[in-house]
Chains A and B, each alone.
Chain A
Amino acid sequence: NAGVTQTPKFRVLKTGQSMTLLCAQDMNHEYMYWYRQDPGMGLRLIHYSVGEGTTAKGEVPDGYNVSRLKKQNFLLGLESAAPSQTSVYFCASKLERGGSYNEQFFGPGTRLTVL
């Protein structure tokens, strides 16, 4: 199992450009999440999905869109990148079973710089 994978690993954008970050998981997990991590701010939830075809807003959703067309993939889009979106982005997935709250598994991250 590859677990949670993210592409690309690094990207540099100019202000106003758009891009899509791809997250894939091969663990048949229902739930998927997108976070951003900034120095001194910790991990903050951008959007999440509780199943194929569903999405919901997290703590910091402005400027981002997401789609979950297939269970194994969760895409994060930036329509018009801004310098404030310079960050490290992590995807995570989780298996929900038996009512217990299970751990999230994280990908290796994408380092994005917006100039």
Chain B
Amino acid sequence: EDQVTQSPEALRLQEGESSSLNCSYTVSGLRGLFWYRQDPGKGPEFLFTLYSAGEEKEKERLKATLTKKESFLHITAPKPEDSATYLCAASPGAGSYQLTFGKGTKLSVIP
């Protein structure tokens, strides 16, 4: 069974305190690993797609990396506006049109 596990469930950081969020996945034949940001009361907003181990992508203070078993979302010098829930999702092998989502990490950045 395909599974995506995110840790920690919640993370509180001081403004400027860098950290990483973890996404462990067990899917057959990964086609893509996705990161989304979700603000309270809103729909998930796409951040990154990673397709193969070793791939990295960056956007402002965020950098996503991928290994064969995990993905990390690194947050460098976070600001209060980075506070949100970050969702990880994996797409299994060919023939599947679905994503398997993790339960998310709720990030709070304190000024």
Chain A residues packing against B (C-beta within 8 Å)? 4, 31, 33, 40-45, 48, 50, 56, 58, 90, 92, 96, 100-109
Contact = CB atoms under 8 A, between A and B. Distances in A.
Contacts of B89: 43
Nearest to B35: A103
Contacts of A100: 32, 51
Contacts of B34: 103-104
B102 A42 contact: yes
A42 B104 contact: yes
Given A31-B97, A101-B31, A103-B34, A43 B87 contact: yes
Interface in B43-70: 43-46, 49, 51
B43 A106 contact: yes
A10 to B, nearest CB: 11
When A and B form their complex, which 7 residue pairs have the shortest distance between CB atoms, in order from nearest?
A: A106-B43, A42-B103, A101-B32, A43-B101, A101-B31, A103-B46, A101-B91
Interface residues on B, range: 20 to 34
Contact of A106 (B31, B41, B45): B45
A107 B43 contact: yes
Given A43-B89, A45-B98, 6 more contacts: A42-B103, A43-B44, A50-B97, A101-B32, A106-B44, A109-B42
B27 to A, nearest CB: 12
A103 B97 contact: no
A48 B97 CA distance: 9
B99 interface: yes
A96 B43 CA distance: 21
Nearest to A105: B46
Given A48-B97, A50-B97, A108 B49 contact: no
Contacts of A31: 97
A5 to B, nearest CB: 11
